[in-house]
Amino acid sequence: MKEKRYRSILKAICWRLTGTIDTFVISYLVTGKFKFAMSISFFEIFTKITLYYLHERFWNRISTGRAEGIKPDYEI
């Protein structure tokens, strides 16, 4: 089953918010400077959303590790 593009975008944003909080905390602990940690976090959120989105779209084209014809454990 292929994922739609908007699902990849939503996953990228969700994951990046989690990662950005982590980046901010680590940057703050290392530098001790709130503004510096914020500037690092602000810049990396945009670059990494783009990289994650491209990564997801690439893997969506590859069939490795996918099982065809298997029904899900549940259906809604």
**pLDDT on residue 1:** 64
pLDDT at 76: 65
Q: Please tell me the distance from the alpha carbon of residue 14 to that of residue 34, in angstroms, as a whole number.
A: 23
Residue pLDDT tens, the chain, 76 long: 677 888 878 887 888 889 899 999 999 999 999 999 999 998 888 888 888 888 888 988 888 877 776 666 666 6
Distance of CA 51 to CAs 14, 20, 55, Å?
14, 14, 6
pTM, two decimals, is: 0.60
